[in-house]
Structure 1
Amino acid sequence: MLAEVNLFGIYVAPISIYAVAATFVTVTIRKILWRLGALGWFWHVPLLEVALYACVLCLLVLYV
């Protein structure tokens, strides 16, 4: 797990960095699913995106 990060004299919590990283990973996965046409399989796409973001964030916190 990361410790606090000093960003120009301001200490930032590690969850903030994980959240930004999870956003980029989620956008990448979403683009891949869109190109494959897999997003059409889901009834509620925004709900899928929120769940995907939560899963990616949890995995980053646990394994990075």
Structure 2
Amino acid sequence: MSAATGTTWAVVVNDEEQHSVWPADSAPPAGWRTLGFTGSRDACLTRIAAEWTDLRPAGLRRRMGAA
């Protein structure tokens, strides 16, 4: 999928709290949901960088916190 100029992107997240971008005019793939933020690809990546600061999957974070 190209990062065509003019494409609106959405920030999506899965159950492990991993973030990605997805074309806003398409439904996210199974297991992913939108977070309500859309914009240019760069704007979405900037938003992800600000919010997703711990890149470990949620399940790993839970297991490490329980240890």
TM-score by length of 2: 0.28
Higher helix share: 1
Give TM-score, length-normalised by structure 1: 0.29
Of Structure 1 and Structure 2, which has the larger fraction of its residues in strand?
Answer: 2
